[in-house]
């Protein structure tokens, strides 16, 4: 569309990748097993808002008892060993939104449950709050109304899966993924990874 060419302003650089440092805690974590890094890329190449934006966040699990609370928290070292790795990708385009998880170094051959939750992780497994729901309704606890990322690890403790929805994850309303001991809609929380879903421009002024 010719009319969109002029829409490109100072906030719509074609491609931006920034390293996000969440203050002093993140600096202390650099290089430790609890380190996490995030790369945010925004591609406004089409000139149409909401297309081709993505977020990728990596982390390594560490115990909740670590001196500096890690971004990727293990609540159960038998299932989620320290040093286990996780990457979350969140992509949004005209077709909707896709969340992909990749893990390495978790317990081999285990069927994990995983969902996108509302709040950031904490020392307390309950800190992540409830599942993010597209339509807020306690009766709609299912993979159509929520982002479920259940996976079963291979013999090396790795796995990859993704979930696609035609709706999106607005900034600020979904802030973690929680790993559960069992697959399905609930169960004991064995790990958590803080991810600012929908925030494709964090750190970009
Ligand atoms: Cu959950």
Q: Is the pLDDT of residue 21 over 90?
A: no
pLDDT at 89: 95
Q: Which helix (DSSP H) or strand (DSSP E) does residue 116 occupy?
A: strand 111-117
Q: How far apart are CA 157 and CA 111, in angstroms?
A: 11
- State in Å: Cα 6 to ligand 1 middle: 43
Predicted TM-score (pTM) of this structure: 0.76
Please provide residue 167's backbone torsions phi and psi, each rounded to the nearest 5 degrees.
Answer: -95, 170
Structure token digits, residue 16: 């931006």
Domains of the chain, by residue range, sit at 14-194
CA distances from 44 to 78, 101, 124, 182, 198 (A): 43, 24, 39, 39, 15
> Does CATH number 2.60.40 belong to domain 14-194?
yes
For 138-191, the pLDDT digits (tens) are 999 999 999 999 999 999 999 999 999 999 998 899 999 999 999 988 899 999
Picking from 62, 61, 77, 50, the residue whose alpha carbon sits closest to that of residue 166 is: 50
- State in Å: Cα 131 to ligand 1 middle: 6
- State in Å: Cα 175 to ligand 1 middle: 12
- Bridge partners of 131, per DSSP, are 117
- State in Å: Cα 130 to ligand 1 middle: 7
For 87-99, the pLDDT digits (tens) are 999 999 888 999 9
pLDDT at 69: 79
pLDDT at 50: 45
- State in Å: Cα 10 to ligand 1 middle: 38
pLDDT at 80: 98
- State in Å: Cα 150 to ligand 1 middle: 10
Sign for the CA dihedral angle at 46, 50, 52, 57 comes to: positive
């Amino acid at each position: 569309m010719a009319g969109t060419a002029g829409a490109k302003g100072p906030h719509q650089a074609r491609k931006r990748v920034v390293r996000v440092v969440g203050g002093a805690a993140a600096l202390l974590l650099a290089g430790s097993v609890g380190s996490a890094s995030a790369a945010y890329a925004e591609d406004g190449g089409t000139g149409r808002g909401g297309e081709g934006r993505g977020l990728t966040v990596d982390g390594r699990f560490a115990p909740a008892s670590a001196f500096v609370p890690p971004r990727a928290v293990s609540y159960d070292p038998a299932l989620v060993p320290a040093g286990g790795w996780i990457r979350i990708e969140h992509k949004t385009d005209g077709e909707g939104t896709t969340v992909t998880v990749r893990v390495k170094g978790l317990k081999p051959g285990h069927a994990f449950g995983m969902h996108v939750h509302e709040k950031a992780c904490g020392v307390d497994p309950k800190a992540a709050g409830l599942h993010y729901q597209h339509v807020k309704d306690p009766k709609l606890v299912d993979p159509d109304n929520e982002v479920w990322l259940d996976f079963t690890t291979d013999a090396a403790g790795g796995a990859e899966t993704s979930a696609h929805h035609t709706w999106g994850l607005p900034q600020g309303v979904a802030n973690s993924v929680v790993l559960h001991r069992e697959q399905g809609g609930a169960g004991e929380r064995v790990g958590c990874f803080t991810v600012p879903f929908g925030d494709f421009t964090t750190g970009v002024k």
